[in-house]
Chains A and B, each alone.
Chain A
């Protein structure tokens, strides 16, 4: 009997993100409708962007599938970054900055080191992870040592990373056009003409291998190791974890270090996979916020993050296609934000779902005697 109950609880946990996603797309369609466009064109673009099949006009282009993988990789990793910190009870809005730190370190190694490809590429990726980890360690340390809220610190570090990146790219590595560095040597790149060829000239690269390894590592560390258990214990109840003799402060810092490493890896993959040069940026590119959406919808679990990463990757690849169908691509951001908002309303949504099932508990929606008091 208790087992069935647990199953039911699990079901409703999965229902919330699914419901949120469906409702998010519905809201997005309404916005498209109100602004005088056709939502069907939006869905056609999304399907075309993820499968390569154009339902409206017919035809198949495998390039879109390659692009879907490319777009999903960084946000999957920032999703892992945000999710990892969430599991320890920390909100990492700084994945963007950690990603930029990683991308900068990757640029440094790619430009300065000369090595054969099987050494150079791992070096680039490890440098990206190390830099991201260091950038993530700062808010972790400040939280553990001075109890400074990680949210504001990570946001500030995003802006600092942006300007530091630009200064390094333009002044240290040098740039002819004030936008990018010189081309990296081929040995540093994740690109492969063969991968591009089988996907009709997409930017698909070997970056998906470290991404898959990262997803496995995330799952393994959190679910299968004592260390991961300690991290989750801090996330569940800081005081109890402390009482049980766990090193709460150290765990917080370690959690942010690992979260930063995931985001740093994303930076390295973008820089040496999608591009082949270091870039100065005018503004943040939003990978960090995408990661928040991915982690929330994926419920901070490895399989969930994988699916959510692909879902939001789909929205991103569909962007240019929507644009050419006359629908501003920012609708993707609007849908994403709605989904995040809806997942944030978890407690409220759970009760609405219960209501749909005719459960009597659901009828006490927002009533004063609710059991989940002030969680």
Chain B
């Protein structure tokens, strides 16, 4: 494995890591507020569908189409996540089942709308998604330049900013403290005058925005159109990154990198001497197998929000 190969792998790995990180940050907001969001996958599908559709439709009109696609992806994710909030916060639904329902719904709804709008099982292909950028000057830094600043999708930088922003909001602001208190002990939070319902709505809606952004990012950087298998489990990998990253934004960042690299090994295995002999399918399985291993290693030591997944009832003491 030469240095050249590593340098070559980096931008691709970052491309795969960005949506995982974004969606995992979404999961972080939701779980910190006390709502388990297994619907990240489904929300990503909706975001990806919305992003791809808007890009296809607006492409002839404006060169900003992919960016508008990202924006609409965020909005679509927020709206879609409201189902989850309403079901699990107001109607006290089991959060895992409600999330599963959204995952099923996302598959049906997006392909249904594809058929209505594009008369086929997928969106029409867009001619160009987001464009890669090269950061002037910084790309001249030896080693680091080609790794992080040459031919990189801007969404990767967006993901980095979101990590820092999430850390600041969750750990350093009053809002973040209130959010976390709802995920640790909602009754205690309520006794201090915090509106638990409102905070949980905020957590899930922010998670919808981030997962929607993640989905749109994924389709606009890794695909040419939205199909039912565009997201292929990335939402669940994001969920595992959250556990792996110990519900901490910086941990999520590390886990995202890890899974980003795991995903691209299948493309580069043939160039890596000791991996070339293994069948391609092994590498397809790898990210998912690593997820399980990561969960086993970190289970028991989990430091997740105590009340995540618990239905909040004002009457409980």
Contact = CB atoms under 8 A, between A and B. Distances in A.
Contacts of A346: 93
Contacts of A159: 232-233, 285, 288
B300 A147 contact: yes
A289 B229 contact: no
Given A146-B299, A338-B105, A347-B91, A374 B240 contact: no
Contact of A344 (B90, B97, B281, B315): B97
B83 interface: yes
Interface residues of A, number: 57
B312 interface: yes
Per DSSP, are chain B's interface residues mostly helix, strand or loop, or mixed? helix
A167 B289 contact: no
A111 B104 CA distance: 34
A304 interface: no
B103 interface: yes
A149 B104 contact: no
A164 B90 CA distance: 42
Contacts of A292: 97, 100, 104
Contact of B288 (A156, A330, A334): A156
A337 B289 contact: no
A296 B312 CA distance: 22
A370 B112 CA distance: 39
B92 A373 contact: no
B316 interface: yes
A333 B101 CA distance: 10
A370 B315 contact: yes
B295 interface: yes
Given A331-B108, A348-B90, A164 B100 contact: no
A157 B281 CA distance: 14
Nearest to B97: A344
A147 B87 CA distance: 27
A338 B292 CA distance: 30
A340 interface: yes
Max count, chain B CB within 10 A of own CB: residue among A151, A152, A289: A152
B296 A142 contact: yes
B314 interface: yes
Interface string A34-53: 01100000000000000000
Contacts of B100: 93, 289, 292, 340
B314 A337 contact: no
A366 B315 CA distance: 10
A217 interface: no
B295 A374 contact: no
Contact of B311 (A31, A164, A328, A375): A375
Interface string A288-308: 010011001000000000000
B38 interface: yes
A336 interface: yes
A282 interface: yes
A91 B243 CA distance: 18
A293 B104 CA distance: 10
Nearest to A369: B315
Contacts of A149: 295
Given A146-B299, A148-B296, A163 B281 contact: yes
A374 B313 contact: yes
Contacts of B93: 341, 344-348
A368 B186 CA distance: 14
B98 A341 contact: yes
A138 B118 CA distance: 42
A149 B299 CA distance: 9
A333 B107 contact: yes
12 contacts: A155-B236, A164-B285, A328-B111, A330-B115, A331-B112, A337-B109, A338-B105, A341-B101, A344-B97, A347-B311, A368-B315, A374-B312
Q: 3 closest A-B pairs (Cβ-Cβ)?
A: A333-B108, A348-B91, A337-B105
Given A152-B291, A347-B92, A368-B314, 9 more contacts: A142-B295, A156-B240, A289-B104, A330-B115, A334-B108, A345-B93, A348-B90, A373-B313, A373-B316
